[in-house]
Structures are given as structure tokens and as C-alpha cells.
Amino acid sequence: MRPPAELFDLTGKVAVVTGGSRGIGREIVKAYAEQGADVVIASRKVENCEALAEEIRRTTGRKALAIACHVGRWQDCDALIADTVQELGRLDILVNNAGVSPLYDSLAGITEELYDKTLAVNLKGPFRLAVLAATHMYEHDGGAIINIGTIGSLLASIDELPYACAKAGLNSLTVGLAEAFAPKVRVNAILPGAFATDISKAWPQELRAGVGIPLGRAAEPEEIVGAALYLASDAASYTTGASIRVDGGVTRKVAG
């Protein structure tokens, strides 16, 4: 039996995190680098990625690469995987974290543009990235893919229905890819609940206060790290096709 410190060690690995410059993506990037991984930080605003990459290089000594990527565009997804392998020589971990949940006034008022944008960022892009990454991993040393979903994919509300539908598709993608690329590539999902990120500033006060959440509060972004480290590491060597809820124990949809 290997000691826990060794099981969670990511030294020599390369991890790509989309939506990695802020919120829970930022905390995952920092945790992976602190555990020894070189990291690729991807989002639409490359300047934010570069600022975090500089911090990672300074504080951990790991390689950190910033890449502009709109995950709703397949050509950007293709370039992200290709550039990662070209610049860092390998790809071991992919975290599909980028997401978007646009506001709307009513279900009937949802435009085709809003719907298509929501599905593109939350499902189409992650599909392409995961397939490309898993193919590379399978042909080399294996790896791990982590899809960041939402508890809303199981407990959907009218306030975020296109988003919930897309993330429900991500749950199915997780299971399907786990089978398709076994045994060399593990594919799992994390289903967060209410996390106090930039997005939470638009939430109703009761949600921010933790009303309806058994643990009585929203989570801090760093509280995603335990699940994200586990699924990326050798500690999860027998875990694939799983969805781990990190939601404070909710049993019904909390308004928000």
C-alpha cells in the first residue's frame, strides 16, 4: 500500500483546467500545482489566465501556461489540446470546468441564441475536449478527466433550465466516456452545489445565507479541492464513471 502523500502526488503530470482563472477553477489549478503538476490555465480572457500562471510559477516553481480558449468553439478546443501537448509534452489531467448559465425572464422568452450558447459552452465543448484528451491519454500513459457539473443537473429549476439540461448531458458523457476509454483513462464528474464565487453575487440573499442547505451555508471555492485532487490522483485508481456531489447535502432544488 502506497502512503497517502504518494497517492495524491501529481509530480510529472500535466493538467488542463478550463475556466481556470477564477472561482473553483482557480482553486483547482492552484491545488494541482502545489501537488507537483504543471498546469494549463484556459479561459476566454487570456490576461486573467496569464496573471494566475505568473503566480503559479512564482509560488510553486511549476510550469504554468495560459491559453485563450472559448470552449464553445471546437477549433479553440482542438487548439487547446494540441498546444498543451506541443508546449508541455504530455497531457494527463483534463478538468472541464468552464461553464455559463445566462439569465432569462421566462422559459418562453429563451432565445435560440441563448439556448445554443448554453449548450455549446456546457456540453458541446466539453465533449470535444474530453474526446481529444482521452484519445491522447489512451495512446500514451493514461490519465484522468473530470467534468465539473452541477447538482442542478439532478434537481433542476425553472431559473436555469437550459444550463441544467446541458449539465445533465455532461453526466451522461461522463459515464459513456468512462466506458469508451477504460481501462487507461478514468472519467468522473463533480456536482457542486452553491459555491460563493463571482456568480453568487447575483443570487437571492437566502441562497447566499445557506437557506435550504443542510450544512447551513454556501461553500467556499477551495472546498472543491478535496474531490478534484482525489479524482485526478492515483488515490482514485478504481473510480470511474462516478459523479461526486459536493453540495452541502441538498435534497431539493434551492432557489437561485
Which helix (H) or strand (E) element contains residue 244?
strand 243-246
Residue 145 lies in a domain: yes
Residue 132 lies in a domain: yes
pLDDT band at 36 (very low <50, low <70, confident <90, very high): very high
Residue 46 lies in a domain: yes
Residue 3 lies in a domain: no
Domain that holds residue 216: 9-246
Does residue 166 contact residue 115 with C-beta atoms inside 8 Å?
no
Which pLDDT score is estimated for 125? 98
| Amino acid in position 38 | D
Residue 182 lies in a domain: yes
**Structure confidence by residue, pLDDT tens digits, 45-79:** 999 999 999 999 999 999 999 999 999 999 999 99
Backbone angles phi, psi at 246, to 5 degrees: -125, 75
Average the pLDDT over 131-150 and give the result: 98
Residue 255 lies in a domain: no
Catalytic residues: 163
Residue 42 lies in a domain: yes
Which pLDDT score is estimated for 256? 45
Given a cut of 90, whether residue 132 has pLDDT beyond it is yes
Given a cut of 60, whether residue 169 has pLDDT beyond it is yes
The whole-angstrom separation of Cα 31 and Cα 229 is 7
In the chain, the number of structural domains is: 1
Which pLDDT score is estimated for 135? 98
CA atoms within 13 A on the CB side of 49: 21
Instruction: Indicate which CATH number applies to the domain containing 176.
Output: 3.40.50.720
Residue 44 lies in a domain: yes
| Amino acid in position 151 | I
Given a cut of 50, whether residue 97 has pLDDT beyond it is yes
Does residue 122 contact residue 64 with C-beta atoms inside 8 Å?
no
**Structure confidence by residue, pLDDT tens digits, 182-212:** 999 999 999 999 898 876 565 667 666 777 8
pTM value is 0.94
Which residue shows C-alpha cell 463533480?
A: 190
Listing DSSP states for 130-157 in one string gives HHHHHHHHHHTT-EEEEEE--GGGTS--
Choose the weakest-confidence range: 83-87, 154-158, 249-253: 249-253
- Pick left, alpha or beta for residue 242 (phi over 0 → left; psi -120 to 50 → alpha; otherwise beta): beta
Bridge partners of residue 191, in order along the sequence = 245
